Structure 1
Amino acid sequence: MKYLCLVYLDKEHWNACRDADCAEYAQQLADSQRMLAAEPLHPVETATTVRVRNGQVALYDGPFAETKEQLAGFYLVDAADLNEAIRIASGIPPAKYGSVEVRPVRQLEV
């Protein structure tokens, strides 16, 4: 099953984890054939939020909600179950400085 591990960091810890550490962990997951995708994100100040209401598109600078921790990146992994996904998430290096939200990915029903 696919799980999305969303990495959240506050501004103070945004660069606390070296890119090389994240790349090394991602490579370990790739070598074990559990990695589907992983990418870091630029800081929240570079974000644009899009809303469509009554057919009208509105753009806003920055994130939709003000929060202490901000989305810093993600790992999309293939895990047998939630317990394995949690084990994978606990190894993501930025988890030492922020948090990692683990969510199962669902298929669209068409």
Structure 2
Amino acid sequence: MKYLVLIYSNPDTRKIWESMSEQERGVGWQAYAALDEELRAAGELVVSEALEDPSQGRRPVPSDGPFAEVKEHLAGFLLLDCRDMDRAMEIAAKIPEAPYGVVEVRPVKQLG
């Protein structure tokens, strides 16, 4: 079964990241690399990506609103293929941002 792990950023988590030293940030990136490697070795990782800041995005249909005011934005994701939701939640708990409550796990809809 496939699960999408969504990792969000918000002003509070951004402040935490920006207050970290280069060494602390490096430890965070290493934690992600280690998790990716662990999941690849287990055959559970389909893809993992960090996303650029929302200011770099574009909309396919130009519009000047109305837009909902949103403080959180999608910062990255993992697409997993694992046995069940419990395993997906176990993996999501290993994400460095998980303690800040900005990680969500959603099953991928099975079509057909």
| Alignment TM class, shorter chain as reference | 0.7 to 0.9
CA spacing shift, 1:59–1:90, aligned 2, 3 Å: same
Cα RMSD, aligned residues only: 2.2
Equivalent in 65, 68, 73 of residue 71 of structure 2: 68
Residue deviations 1:1-58 (CA, integer Å, cap 9, x gap): 00000101114424825322211111111111111100000111112223xxxxxxx2
Runs of 4+ in 1 over 6 A off after TM superposition: none
Match of 1:30 among 20, 37, 40: 40
Aligned residues: 100
| Structure 2: unaligned runs, 5 residues or longer | 18-24
- In the alignment, structure 1 segments of 5+ residues that lack a partner are 51-57
> Matched residues in 2 for 1:12 and 1:36: separation?
29
Counting aligned pairs with the same residue, the percent is: 39
More strand per residue: 1
The equivalent residue for 1:83 is 86
Q: Deviations over 1:52-108 (max 9, x none)?
A: xxxxxx2258xx643222100000011211111111111112223451111111233
Q: How does 1:33-44 map to 2 (within 5 A)?
A: 33-44=43-54
Name the TM-score, length of structure 2 as normaliser.
0.75
1:1-110 correspondence runs (5 A): 1-14=1-14, 16=17, 18-50=28-60, 58-60=61-63, 65-109=68-112
